[in-house]
């Protein structure tokens, strides 16, 4: 399964959560908007709060302790805002710190991981590329996932250095970006890969750029729709689905940076003209950076 969810014992012990409370979704930056888009389509009655930790993106270039520190701080901040469930819409944060976060959080948490299983099921040539952050690829969680499915399918693992930064500045089609992507994808095509796992939630924004390089030779695996379905199952399981009367509310968009790029991407991706709130979410490591 590319996804998973759990519920902590403190919640099982009876922490009151309202079905009409919002779902918190967060990412190191703008990538999680690809997940938010799928959640809105699948669960239009849910109220959503999105946090982009853009001030500290990319996580893929950070150390493990930093990623865990931010994941815990943002998760706790969202719970303090009333979130009834959390979607860690970041492969890197899930891979590195969801186990730790689950011990601390009092609400169901849905994580994401690269779609290795669907790729192994789908690939005809039995060669699939995986584009993800270096942190995700080197994590024990990813290694275990890949081992489970790599028996008769070869995975070509490629860290996507520079790609998160490009999406964060809303560059999804510049000639420099296409050349960078080509340097990652061409070796996969040369090795006869027919499937490409988008193992970072920022990468679905690069689908057109990838198509311009690979045409139809690669089936792209993006798990955002599966994540939305998993959230739906977890909300149902815990009796937390919003009542239909709460439809049509715009998500609350928050950023730890100035939010301008988020506003731009939300307009072009979701067709929404929104205000992005700048929020301060202190954590042990960022306080240390600032002092």
Which listed range, 119-127, 140-148, 181-189, 198-206, lies at the site for ligand DGL (CB under 6 A)? 198-206
Could you say which residues in the range 164-193 bind ligand DGL, by CB under 6 A?
Answer: 164
Closest to ligand DGL by CB, 10 or 260: 260
Q: Does 204 bind ligand DGL (CB under 6 A)?
A: no
Could you say which residues in the range 14-43 bind ligand DGL, by CB under 6 A?
Answer: 27-29, 31
Closest to ligand DGL by CB, 93 or 214: 93
Q: Does 111 bind ligand DGL (CB under 6 A)?
A: no
Closest to ligand DGL by CB, 210 or 240: 210
Closest to ligand DGL by CB, 63 or 249: 63
Under a CB-based contact definition with an 8 Å cutoff, are residues 256 and 139 in contact?
A: no
Catalytic residue list: 90, 200
Least distance (Å) between residue 267 CB and ligand DGL: 20
Q: Does 130 bind ligand DGL (CB under 6 A)?
A: no
151 marked ligand binding residue:
no
- What secondary structure, in 3-state letters, does the chain show? CCEEEECCHHHHCCCCCCCCCCEEEEECCCCCHHHHHHHHHHCCCCCEEEEECHHHCCHHHCCHHHHHHHHHHHHHHHHHCCCCEEEECCHHHHHHHHHHHHHHCCCCEEEECCCHHHHHHHCCCCEEEEEECHHHHHCHHHHHHHHHHCCCCEEEEEECCCHHHHHHCCCCCCHHHHHHHHHHHHHHHHCCCCEEEECCCCHHHHHHHHHHHHCCCCEEECCHHHHHHHHHHHHHHCCCCCCHHHCCCCCEEEECCCCHHHHHHHHHHHCCCCCEEECCCCCHHHHHHHC
Which listed range, 38-46, 173-181, 197-205, 254-262, lies at the site for ligand DGL (CB under 6 A)? 197-205
Least distance (Å) between residue 74 CB and ligand DGL: 13
50 marked ligand binding residue:
no
Of the candidate residues 21, 54, 71, 92, the single one contacting ligand DGL (CB under 6 A): 92
Long-range Cβ contacts of 284-288 (<8 Å, 24+ apart): 284/69, 284/73, 285/65, 285/66, 285/69, 285/70, 286/56, 286/69, 286/70, 286/73
Of the candidate residues 21, 136, 224, 234, the single one contacting ligand DGL (CB under 6 A): 136
Least distance (Å) between residue 15 CB and ligand DGL: 28
Chain centre distance of CA 209: 19
199 marked ligand binding residue:
no
Q: Does 201 bind ligand DGL (CB under 6 A)?
A: yes
Closest to ligand DGL by CB, 134 or 250: 134
Q: Which residues are annotated as a binding site for substrate?
A: 27-28, 59-60, 91-92, 201-202
- What residues line the site for ligand DGL (CB under 6 A)? 27-29, 31, 57-60, 90-92, 133, 136, 164, 200-202
């Amino acid at each position: 399964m590319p996804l998973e969810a759990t519920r902590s014992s403190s919640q099982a012990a009876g922490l009151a959560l309202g079905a009409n409370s919002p779902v918190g979704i967060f990412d190191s930056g703008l990538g999680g908007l690809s997940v938010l888009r799928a959640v809105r389509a699948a669960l239009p009655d849910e109220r959503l709060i999105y946090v982009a930790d853009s001030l500290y993106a990319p996580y893929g270039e950070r150390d493990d302790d930093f990623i865990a520190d931010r994941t815990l701080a943002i998760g706790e901040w969202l719970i303090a805002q009333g979130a009834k469930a959390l979607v860690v819409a970041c492969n890197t944060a899930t891979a590195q710190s969801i186990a730790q976060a689950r011990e601390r959080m009092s609400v169901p948490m849905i994580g994401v991981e690269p779609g290795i299983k669907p790729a192994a099921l789908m690939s005809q040539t039995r060669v699939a590329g995986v584009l993800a952050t270096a942190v995700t690829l080197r994590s024990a969680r990813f290694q275990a996932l890949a081992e489970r499915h790599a028996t008769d399918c070869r995975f070509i693992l490629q860290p996507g250095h520079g790609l998160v930064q490009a999406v964060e500045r809303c560059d999804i089609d510049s000639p420099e970006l296409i050349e960078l992507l080509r340097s990652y994808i061409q070796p996969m095509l040369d090795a006869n890969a027919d499937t490409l796992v988008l193992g970072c939630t920022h990468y679905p924004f690069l689908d057109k750029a990838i198509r311009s390089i690979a045409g139809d030779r690669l089936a792209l695996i993006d798990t955002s729709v599966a994540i939305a379905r998993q959230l739906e199952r977890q909300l149902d399981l815990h009796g937390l689905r919003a009542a239909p009367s709460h439809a049509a509310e715009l998500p609350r968009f928050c950023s730890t940076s100035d939010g301008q790029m988020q506003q731009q991407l939300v307009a072009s991706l979701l067709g929404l003209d929104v205000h992005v709130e700048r929020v301060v979410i202190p954590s042990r490591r960022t306080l240390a950076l600032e002092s």
